[in-house]
Amino acid sequence: MTVLVSVVKQMIADGSSLKAVACASTGDTSAALAAYAAYAGIPAIIFLPAGKVSTAQLIQPVANGAHVLALDTDFDGCMKIVQEVTNDKSIYLANSMNSLRIEGQKTVGIEIIRQFDWEVPDWIIIPVGNLGNISALHKGLKLLSDLGIINKMPRLVAAQAAAANPFYQSYQNGFEEKVSMTAQKTQANAIQIGNPVSYQKAVTAVQETNGIVEQATEEELANAAAFADLTGMYACPHTGVALAVLYKLIDRGIIKSSERAVVISTAHGLKFTNFKVNYHESKVPDMNTKHANPPVYVDASVQAVKDVIAQRLGL
């Protein structure tokens, strides 16, 4: 996002008629745009689907002074409107269909390889919705390959929530046609997208890396995130989607124990407190919360506390 905002700032300095930047978002894109635009002194307009983002996601652009418009539609509806609004050349579109977003975001692929001392992992798994992230990841990796810095490409895995899985459905039909759908409600709300705008770039990313597209159910993604938390992480639901897909591919023998796999975590769990609370209090209907760890309410006496500790720890 910083690349895009930096270019816009320079365009304004060079006399452009641009007055603002705008994006449709399910939360994280809006936070990035609002923060960088605020620092650059450029007004930001944020289109959010009303009632479909967490409080933490909503408050970030609000706090950074963006003009936040909560629309009575889903992300795809917001995306359609922002595209029409930005046809007015005074407002600059900041979604991933803009190549400047991809140019900045591609560095994630470069950073992954650098952190492994330029050794290429066998797999990279990433949760996807609007498909800009996997497109950018592929572009960064391809740049390294074209420059001769790496001699092979990792296989890319696009992980989708089963409730919002148009790319998975397209993969199932061999990418013969783009599938669009009305995305259903998912705990991974940032990827609750039914008509991804970076579809063709993502198809190229999967095909050129012999990649895979897989999906995760609501129960699978929640349990995967909770299991990861037991290692000291605090995973968001979208990371849970990618982790659930990792476990599936390992179970099927597709990812071997001898191979190195990277899972990209896209947000911090603190932005999704209700997701965590509902899981550990087993408030999600029809879900087997295998790793639920609710608080134990105990009488305020030493003996009662000792009894519970003995029971819990087998002392």
CATH of the domain at 8: 3.40.50.1100
Find out whether 136 and 171 touch, Cβ atoms under 8 Å: no
Largest CA distance in the chain: 75
What lies within 8 Å, CB to CB, of 251 at 6+ separation is none
Look at residue 256 and tell me if it is in a domain: yes
Find out whether 48 and 68 touch, Cβ atoms under 8 Å: yes
Judgement on whether residues 163 and 254 belong to the same structural domain of the protein = yes
Judgement on whether residues 35 and 125 belong to the same structural domain of the protein = no
**At which of 61, 95, 129 does a domain end?**
95
Judgement on whether residues 119 and 268 belong to the same structural domain of the protein = yes
- Between vectors from CA 221 to CA 107 and to CA 75, what angle results, nearest 5°? 65
pLDDT of residue 57: 87
Please determine, for residue 97, whether its predicted confidence score (pLDDT) is greater than 90.
no
Judgement on whether residues 53 and 174 belong to the same structural domain of the protein = no
Please determine, for residue 34, whether its predicted confidence score (pLDDT) is greater than 90.
yes
Q: For residue 184, give its domain range.
A: 102-280
Judgement on whether residues 51 and 114 belong to the same structural domain of the protein = no
Judgement on whether residues 83 and 107 belong to the same structural domain of the protein = no
Q: What is the mean pLDDT of residues 220-234?
A: 98
**At which of 95, 123, 140 does a domain end?**
95
pLDDT of residue 222: 98
**At which of 39, 67, 95 does a domain end?**
95
Look at residue 307 and tell me if it is in a domain: no
pLDDT of residue 314: 84
